[in-house]
Amino acid sequence: MSTHDPRPARPALPELVTPAEVAALFGVDAKTVTRWIAHGRLPGVRTPSGHHRLRRTDIDRLLKDAGSASAPPSS
Amino acid sequence: MSTHDPRPARPALPELVTPAEVAALFGVDAKTVTRWIAHGRLPGVRTPSGHHRLRRTDIDRLLKDAGSASAPPSS
DNA sequence: TAAAATTAGGGTAATTAGGGCG
DNA sequence: AATGTCCTAATTACCCTAATTT
């Protein structure tokens, strides 16, 4: 029983990035990123005005799935 | 505004490049590059819509490695 | 408040994926 | 087995203007 309430209930605010950021990472146009969200291909939040924002964690997950390098072009 | 807003837009260079870009570097058709990825000969990322993207670092590594026959990086 | 940069939205041309063929 | 070219359908890039953000 902790006499004190540390109140560490930190919801860990997700780091939101702009479509331009994601576009630069994927090597596509920012408009394409918004299109991905619009088509439900990519999870993203929307500002009350209609601007898109994406969670860096989601983006990082997609990028890490690439399996960077370690693939010698030999059989 | 609350103090300064640390949003320096990040470096965010095009980390991923298109098959056409890689194809031009290797002197092959873009379709060949996608085939390399399909056959697992080259590491690549897949955009949420199915298009291929390759890591610039991987490509640069392969190209650099190509001339390692006799090219000591003297200072 | 004003200005500059970014974003959304529409429209059109270029690129890409996928299969098949030589 | 590997690469290039032809085809169609889907996706993307760049043009513009208006709204939003910083």
Give the integer Cα–Cα distance in Å for A11 and A1.
Answer: 23
Q: Which nucleotide comes closest to B29 if you measure CA to C1'?
A: D4
Contact A61/B at CB under 8 A:
no
| Residue A48 pLDDT | 93
Task: Write down the mean pLDDT value for chain B.
Answer: 79
**B47-73 confidence digits (pLDDT tens):** 999 999 999 999 999 988 765 554 444
Please report which confidence band the pLDDT of residue B5 belongs to, taking 50, 70 and 90 as the band edges.
Answer: very low
Query: Per DSSP, what are the bridge partners of residue B14?
Result: none
Chain mean position to CA A54: 5
Please answer yes or no on whether A69 and B55 come within 8 Å at the CB atom: yes
For residues B20, B24, B27, B31, the Cα torsion angle rounded to the nearest 10 degrees is 0
What pLDDT shows up at residue B6? 37
Q: What is the pLDDT of residue B36?
A: 97
Q: How far apart are CA A36 and CA B6, in angstroms?
A: 27
CA of B67 to C1' of C13 (A): 38
Predicted confidence band of residue B74 (pLDDT cuts 50, 70, 90): very low
What integer pLDDT is reported at residue B69 of this predicted model?
Answer: 53
Assigned CATH for B16-66: 1.10.1660.10
Continuous segment of H or E residues that includes residue A52: strand A52-55
Q: What is the CA radius of gyration of chain B?
A: 17
According to DSSP, the residues that pair with A16 across neighbouring strands are A55
The parts of chain A modelled with pLDDT lower than 50 are: 2, 4, 7, 69-75
Burial class (CB in 10 A: 0-12, 13-18, 19+), A53: middle
**What's the pLDDT score for residue B64?**
84
Q: What are phi and psi of B72, to 5 degrees?
A: -65, 120
Q: Which is nearest to A22 in space by CA: A40, A39, A43? A: A43
